[in-house]
Amino acid sequence: MLTVEKLSKNFTMHILGNKRIEACRDVSFTVPQGGFLGLSGPSGAGKSTVLKCIYRTYLPSSGQVWYDSATSGRVNLAYLPDREVIDIRTREMGYVSQFLKVIPRVSALDVVMEPILARNGVTRCEARRRAGELLERLRIPAHLLDAYPATFSGGEQQRVNIAHAVSWRPRLLLLDEPTASLDSDSVDIVLELLKELRQEGTTMIGIFHDTELMEMVTDSVVRIC
């Protein structure tokens, strides 16, 4: 479903006198449909860089990112035109960042509801119901649903972040330390959600701080160094 071939990413900092920083070099791996791949390696090894290159927040410096898309067949995400990347992000590819980044002045419920409404073709009422249910499962107190996530605690923010990313059931999900700021109960809930999502066919690539946990949820691990 996703094959990364010899992916490298360098940053050239023009404002620091063209300083060149190598973030990752010659990374290759394959994830089969429905698989869950873990990326491991020391901090600074380029794990997040690889995820961002797949999502195209970073432009890969060299290498290929082959993705079997549901709507447009096999595409190379490394060189796909912007508009098509947007299409794939909208229809198939989700990303959970390390920290919640949402539009200010949008309530927690709306944050989670918006992707369902935009992508799954359901009514407002149904989207609201699904979003509410998901947030309840992730133990966001009911009285916080109409509050702004920017004011939430770190753990609550991360759970809203996960709800936002999984609510619309993407076909490919990229997870960058989704459980980093969660307590062990919340981690269990999140893992259960991810498990359900996999059963529905979502392919995942994840970075986890906790190696034990990573070995438990993923079915193969690639070490990046």
Give the interface with other proteins as residue ranges (CB under 8 A): 11, 13-15, 52, 56-59, 82-83, 85-86, 103-105
Nearest-approach distance from CB 109 to other proteins, in angstroms: 16
Torsion of CA 46, 77, 87, 208, to 10 degrees: -30
CB closer to other proteins, 174 vs 193: 174
Nearest-approach distance from CB 135 to other proteins, in angstroms: 22
CB closer to other proteins, 123 vs 184: 123
* Pairwise CA distance, residues 98 & 101, whole Å: 9
Counting every residue written for the chain, the total comes to 225
Nearest-approach distance from CB 10 to other proteins, in angstroms: 11
CB closer to other proteins, 58 vs 152: 58
CB closer to other proteins, 73 vs 104: 104
Nearest-approach distance from CB 179 to other proteins, in angstroms: 23
* Pairwise CA distance, residues 87 & 72, whole Å: 10
Nearest-approach distance from CB 164 to other proteins, in angstroms: 15
Give one word for 172, left, alpha or beta, with left for phi > 0 and alpha for psi -120 to 50.
Answer: beta
CB closer to other proteins, 13 vs 225: 13
* Pairwise CA distance, residues 174 & 93, whole Å: 8
Residues 6+ apart with CB under 8 A from 56: 77, 78, 80, 85
Nearest-approach distance from CB 52 to other proteins, in angstroms: 7
